[in-house]
Amino acid sequence: MPASVSATVTVEHAFDAPPRDVWVALSDPGTVGDTLPGCVSLSSAGRTRSRRSLSRLLAADPATREARCVAEGERYDATLAARVRGVDVALDGTVAVTERDYPRLATEVEAHADEVDVAAAVSLTVAASEGGCRVTLTARADVSGVLAAHGRRPVEAAAARCANAFFEAVGARLAAVDGPESERAVKDPDWRA
């Protein structure tokens, strides 16, 4: 491997939605798979990824919501596309849920490609704020190979862009729950209600 770096990123995002709704959206593998930039696939050996809407999930009873959301100890197979300084890589790996106890969700990620290895610990914390909530994401990653060739800063910048885009997409999905636009319109801007 040509290079190796350790990177740390902290991203905060304000949501105009109740903390529990944001918590459910961030815990739903279907929503995460649909909104995480570069996520090609996210699947658990123990369950089929639900294609039901976030609106229906939020309106469901607590037991149904819990059954659909990730659980501590679950592992997911993932294929992710990553880009750092013009270098594109398709990574195959696993995401392990190490903690899910409101308001904190933590995962460990291991992903590999021909010339890249990534090991990361990612945590999300939801905190109530005026008019909604604030989510803090902290990620610590060891990256080796071609993605690390330009150093720590480009890796951190790429991770921060990905986290910000993810939060924006989740926010749009949540805004569509009570708004005039449907989730389908959020997913497909060319669709007309």
User: Which pLDDT tens digit goes with each residue over 33-75?
Assistant: 999 999 999 998 666 555 567 887 888 888 888 888 999 999 9
Instruction: Please report the pLDDT score of residue 160 as a whole number.
Output: 96
Pick 11 or 175 by higher pLDDT.
11
pLDDT at 187 > cutoff 80: no
Q: Are strands 4-15 and 132-145 parallel, antiparallel or unpaired?
A: antiparallel
Q: Which residue has the tokens 């890589």?
A: 89
* Amino acid at position 72, single letter: E
Instruction: List the domain boundaries for the chain.
Output: 4-180
Mean confidence (pLDDT) of the chain: 88
Task: Kindly indicate whether the domain formed by 4-180 is annotated with CATH number 3.30.70.20.
Answer: no
Q: Which residue has the tokens 């790429």?
A: 158
Residue among 112, 115, 119 at smallest CA distance from 92: 112
Pair 58, 23: CB distance under 8 Å: no
Instruction: Please report the pLDDT score of residue 157 as a whole number.
Output: 95
Dist CA 121 CA 104 (whole Å): 13
pLDDT at 192 > cutoff 90: no
What is the band of 86 on the pLDDT scale with cuts at 50, 70, 90?
A: confident
Q: Which residue has the tokens 């704020």?
A: 129
pLDDT over 90, % of the chain:
67
- Specify burial of residue 95 (Cβ count, 10 A radius: 0-12, 13-18, 19+): buried
Instruction: Please report the pLDDT score of residue 52 as a whole number.
Output: 60
Structure confidence by residue, pLDDT tens digits, 134-186: 999 999 999 999 988 889 999 999 999 999 999 999 999 998 886 555 555 45
